[in-house]
Amino acid sequence: MTAKLLDGRALGRTIRDRVTREVASLADRIPPIKLVSVDVGENPASALYIRNQRRSAEGVGIAFQHVHLDAASPEDEIARFLLELNEDESVTGIVLQRPLPPGLNTRRLQSKIHPDKDVEGLNPANMGFIVIGEPKLVPCTALASIRLLLSTGRSPRGMDAVVIGHSEIVGKPIAFLLLNLEATVTVCHVATQDLAEHTRDKDAVFVAVGKPGLVTGDMLKPGAIVVDIGINQVPRLDDAGRPLFDESGSPRQKVVGDVDFESASQVAGHLTPVPGGVGPVTVATLLSNAVTAARLQHREELGEVTFEQIV
């Protein structure tokens, strides 16, 4: 293997340590920072995610409140509740857990969260701030991906970069952040005809699709920085390529990204592993976004938020 691994767990720890120091230093200037996580209906995946959010928030000194709403809650009632949280000065940041029960309009509800409390960066106003080059609250995975790029020490200015995937939550914000950093950016998506043609000469490759093995070593420029955002469950195989089963007879699974790690690691200069790459940095970025939210809500005491504070 020639690629240097970009260790997301280590970078996640560095971000959490920084957030811990910032929370402590802001404590005597502004009210305590508090995240409120709202989930609607029953969802085992959300329950685990919320437990982890609580642990990571409390670990850096951020208060955490979980509010559970009934699956049958009408949309206008949920919207009213979010507007109340917007008005509540003790609440710094609001997370609306997805997926919402069928029948509820996720985007409409997310847009109710005040842009300054939108710690997941999903309000269209926050996307607009990224587009005009004044990012405030940035979607966590997009900011995490840029942080991993910057952690290589190489300047994005003048880099040729490609972003594969153009979702609102990941691909598009990464592309605009790269433009803000003066990289030359190509964006590929499901209708792109020849993906390799767009990746082969790029200094940095971001992949957020959800297709294991989409990007292979022969599609990369030697020395490229590769940030693999994809999360895919695939069957675990034995040495002969046969699926493995657990004691209950269920197929064993493992998590992989969108990049074929074996071949890519022979060509790339830097590569994020999956798991242990973008994921832990994304979790830590929700916490740093909570600090950014606090700074935005207390601009008068603390001054305008700068890009250096965000990234």
Which positions lie near ligand NAD, rule CB under 6 A?
141, 164-167, 169-171, 188-190, 192, 195, 208-211, 229-232, 278-279, 282
- Give the residue with the Cβ less far from ligand NAD, 69 or 231: 231
Give Cβ neighbours of residue 228 (< 8 Å, ≥ 6 apart): 207, 215, 257, 258, 259, 271, 272, 273, 274, 277, 278
Query: Measuring CA to CA, which residue among 6, 283, 268 is closest to residue 119?
Result: 283
- Give the residue with the Cβ less far from ligand NAD, 100 or 208: 208
- Give the residue with the Cβ less far from ligand NAD, 33 or 286: 286
The amino acid at 256: V
State in angstroms the smallest separation of the CB of 8 from ligand NAD: 9
DSSP string, 90-115: T--EEEE-SSPPTTS-HHHHHTTS-G
State in angstroms the smallest separation of the CB of 235 from ligand NAD: 17
State in angstroms the smallest separation of the CB of 213 from ligand NAD: 11
Partners of 95 in beta bridges: 37
User: Could you identify the residue written with the tokens 């242990």?
Assistant: 276
Alpha helices in 60-99 (DSSP H): 75-87
CA dist 193 → 209, 229, 249 (Å):
15, 21, 40
- Give the residue with the Cβ less far from ligand NAD, 87 or 194: 194
State in angstroms the smallest separation of the CB of 164 from ligand NAD: 5
- Give the residue with the Cβ less far from ligand NAD, 208 or 310: 208
State in angstroms the smallest separation of the CB of 105 from ligand NAD: 17
Distance CA 91, CA 63 (A): 9
State in angstroms the smallest separation of the CB of 116 from ligand NAD: 23
- Give the residue with the Cβ less far from ligand NAD, 156 or 230: 230
Token pair in block for residue 236:
């675990």
Give Cβ neighbours of residue 11 (< 8 Å, ≥ 6 apart): 147, 148, 151, 280, 281, 284
